[in-house]
Amino acid sequence: MLDLVRERDVADAVMPRLAAEGVLVVSFGPRRLRQVTRLDVHRADIERAADSIVRVLA
């Protein structure tokens, strides 16, 4: 789970920006996002997703 704590960061605004980076998440409320992986996701994939999340939320 990823909790969005800044006032400007709401799920409906953040989700499309993450999707544009190739990171798909599911909203679990207006300020919470859920991310899951599949069995074929590797560490490098997770690191790229984390970098994208940091970039989008910067």
**8 Å CB contact between 33 and 14:** yes
DSSP notation for 20-54: HTT---EESSTTEEE----TT--HHHHHHHHHHHH
| Confidence (pLDDT) at 32 | 97
User: 16-49 pLDDT, tens per residue?
Assistant: 999 999 999 999 999 999 999 989 999 999 999 9
| Confidence (pLDDT) at 53 | 97
Where in the sequence is the domain holding 46, given as residue range(s)? 2-57
| Confidence (pLDDT) at 41 | 93
**pTM to 2 decimal places:** 0.88
Number of domains comprising the chain: 1
